[in-house]
Structure formats: C-alpha cells, structure tokens
C-alpha cells in the first residue's frame, strides 16, 4: 500500500494547471492540452486509489482508466479536427478571434 498524499498533491496540482490552461491560453491546441491534463488528473487519482486495498491491486480502476484514456483520446481527436476547420474559416487558431457568436 503506497501513501496517498503525494498522489493527492499531484492530482490537485494537475487540476489547477489544467483549469488555468483552459482559462488563460489563447491557442486552441493548448486548450485541448488543458482538457487532456484534467482527464489525466482524474486518471492518476483513480489508479492511485486502486492501490489502497490490502493484499492486492484492484483491477476495476485499471480497466476504467484504460477505457477513459481511449475515450478522451477520441474526444481530443475530434477537437483537433475542429481546430483544422477553424483555421480554414478564420485563418488563425487564436480562441479570442472566435467571438462572432454572442448572447
């Protein structure tokens, strides 16, 4: 059984980094990287918790995390495809230019 505190700290830091990345960055690809960091924070926490059972490591979180990695990979792929289309229409991937839809 590993101590949980380092994992908790790392998860908290990754949540803060990911949310900051979503709020501060202008580049659309970096925003998608921020989403990926948030997903990985949750994945890390899940795997860390799986070691807390005595005697064995629970396989359930491992399988959930494998599936979650696949799912967020596909979400990011769709997001990147949208970034390509945004570049075709606007000629830039600066998120602050995407403000034609208001209210």
Q: Which residues bind another protein (CB under 8 A)?
A: 15, 18, 22, 28, 31-32, 35, 38-39, 41-43, 45-46, 49-50, 52-53, 58, 60-61, 63-64, 67-68, 71-72, 74-76, 78-79, 82-83, 85-86, 89-90, 98, 100-101, 103
CA dihedral 34, 68, 58, 12 (to 10 degrees): 20
CA angle, 40 then 53 then 45, to 5°:
15
CB closer to another protein out of 10 and 49? 49
- The least distance separating another protein from the CB of residue 40, rounded to whole angstroms, comes to 9
CB atoms within 10 A of CB 85: 9
């Amino acid at each position: 059984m590993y101590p949980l505190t380092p994992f908790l700290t790392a998860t908290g830091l990754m949540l803060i980094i990911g949310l900051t990345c979503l709020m501060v960055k202008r580049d659309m690809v970096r925003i998608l990287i921020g989403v990926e960091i948030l997903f990985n924070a949750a994945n890390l926490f899940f795997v860390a918790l799986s070691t807390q059972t005595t005697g064995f490591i629970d396989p359930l979180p491992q399988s959930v995390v494998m599936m979650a990695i696949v799912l967020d990979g596909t979400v990011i792929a769709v997001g990147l495809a949208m970034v390509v289309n945004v570049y075709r229409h606007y000629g830039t991937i600066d998120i602050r230019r995407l403000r034609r839809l208001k209210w």
